[in-house]
Amino acid sequence: MEDNNSNRRSVLKAVGASATFAGLSGVVTASDVDTERVRDEGLPFPDASYIAIGDDVREAVGHNWWLLRMGRDRVDDLLRKSSLGSDEVTTYGDRVTTLRDTYAIEESAVTSTDVGQKHTYHLTDSDVDPLGREEEIEVAEVANAVIDGFRAEGDGRDDVSSNWFGDEHKILSKTAYDYNSVDIPSYYQDDLKNASPEPDQFGCKSCQVDWIPVDIPYALEQKMEEGLRGLGDDSEAKHPPFHFYATDIDLNVGPVSIDILEFGGAPSEASEMVDRANSRYGSSEAEALGWAAHYLQDMSVPLHAGAIVEQVNPYVNWDGSYGVNPRRDLHKAYEEFIGNNMENASGPVDYSFETDLLYSQSLSTPNVAEGCRDLADLSGQYATGILDGVMRGGKNDPSSWTDYGTDVFEVTHNCFDEAGRQIRTYLEHHY
């Protein structure tokens, strides 16, 4: 089956059009899939477009750079939808005008990378001074107001559905072993699948992962953790720092300006879960493998692997204390988009994300921590563009999240293709 050289995309198109596959109805047998399955080293969309923000922009204005990309009318619209009074809307609007006049940005480079076409934005005037302390606080106030308007927009709901942390983790686990060569005893499959959402609820208090291995003020570290948790559901699903992983994070807030080379504990915690599986048997072994799979599944979501500071949104107050205003609506909007296209495609790419998991093939290196890092390396590069797109287009309209045609759909397919490969790799190795 590995030497099937058919064109991957045309096969996927055929699959997408096939009603048999749409709901994993069980009509197709594993052997049917083996003969149809196409091995291709590359991503399904190797030319997908995504945006990146240059270091010059981040150094000049910090993590609220998205105020420079958003349509000016949309900024005003969101300020009006916020809880500001009309005088403040005018004042804040003027601040935005000044900010955008001073720090104009432009697309200045398109480069081909291993994950697609990278469109990088830089300052038009590279000599401009970065924001001063007071200006930084004023811009953060504007950003928080715009986020407030974003939150109120649309149906205004602030409840995070349990879809992502529950159903999606189960689908991701199930699809990785269904119709493929993973030989998990059938009586343990449900244990694995049903355990895979659980790390969002129990966390891992014994893991002791140092998720922010740099010296920053303790008060800020605590706020960063609070912000990450705030991206999850208040009631049940937690997003502790161990469910994120990103490299090269610029944290610029108040007096703190630091490049965090490695942030978040997903790889280490996933390893710990595999260690547990190795010392267990039967259904409790399958359960621990489901927990380990959880971290790979989280890494398949770009917003767990990049644009971290933007989402946590730390700021410094006039008295020098720190605050955060986590972007939960934005995080949730993208995860909902994934959930809505997981089993049935409804966008410009005519097959579901689940299909990526069915047809990607496993790798030769079964190390789950490395798998988390590799997957985060890929998906994290798309995070900036996704965050930017959701802010500009609004949480309810994924077709508007895109600068270049079908990019948000294509990059998400790339992530799930790699996720399928990674999840299957470690399950195949284990069983």
Rounded least distance, CB 77 to Zn ion, Å? 33
Give the span between the Cα atoms of 138 and 317, in whole angstroms. 10
CB under 5 A: which stretch of 31-39, 292-300, 306-314, 410-418 binds Zn ion? 292-300
Among 178, 200, 374, 428, the residue binding Zn ion under the rule CB under 5 A is: 200
CB 357 within 8 A of CB 419: yes
Q: With binding defined as CB under 5 A, does residue 332 bind Zn ion?
A: no
Question: Which residue of the chain is nearest Zn ion when measured via CB?
Answer: 243
Rounded least distance, CB 358 to Zn ion, Å? 23
Burial of 186 (0-12, 13-18, 19+ CB in 10 A): exposed
Q: 247: which strand partners? A: 262
Binding mask 25-44 for Zn ion (x = CB under 5 A): --------------------
- Cβ nearer to Zn ion, comparing 201 with 321: 201
Q: With binding defined as CB under 5 A, does residue 168 bind Zn ion?
A: no
| Residue appearing with tokens 């105020």 | 67
CB under 5 A: which stretch of 156-164, 200-208, 219-227, 357-365 binds Zn ion? 200-208
Task: Give how many residues touch Zn ion by CB under 5 A.
Answer: 3
- Cβ nearer to Zn ion, comparing 197 with 420: 197
Rounded least distance, CB 301 to Zn ion, Å? 9
Length of the chain: 431
Among 243, 332, 421, 430, the residue binding Zn ion under the rule CB under 5 A is: 243
E-only strand ranges, 246-321: 246-253, 256-263, 314-316
Secondary structure of 321-377 in HEC code, one letter for each residue:
CEEECCCHHHHHHHHHHHHHCCCCCCCCCCCCHHHHHHHCCCCCCCCHHHHHHHHHH
- Cβ nearer to Zn ion, comparing 52 with 293: 293
Give the span between the Cα atoms of 414 and 357, in whole angstroms. 10
Backbone angles phi, psi at 123, to 5 degrees: -65, 140
CB under 5 A: which stretch of 84-92, 270-278, 298-306, 331-339 binds Zn ion? 298-306
Rounded least distance, CB 413 to Zn ion, Å? 21
Q: How many CB atoms are located within 10 Å of the residue 193 CB?
A: 23
Q: With binding defined as CB under 5 A, does residue 229 bind Zn ion?
A: no
Q: What is the CA radius of gyration of the chain?
A: 22
Among 191, 298, 336, 356, the residue binding Zn ion under the rule CB under 5 A is: 298
**Contacting positions for Zn ion (CB under 5 A):** 200, 243, 298
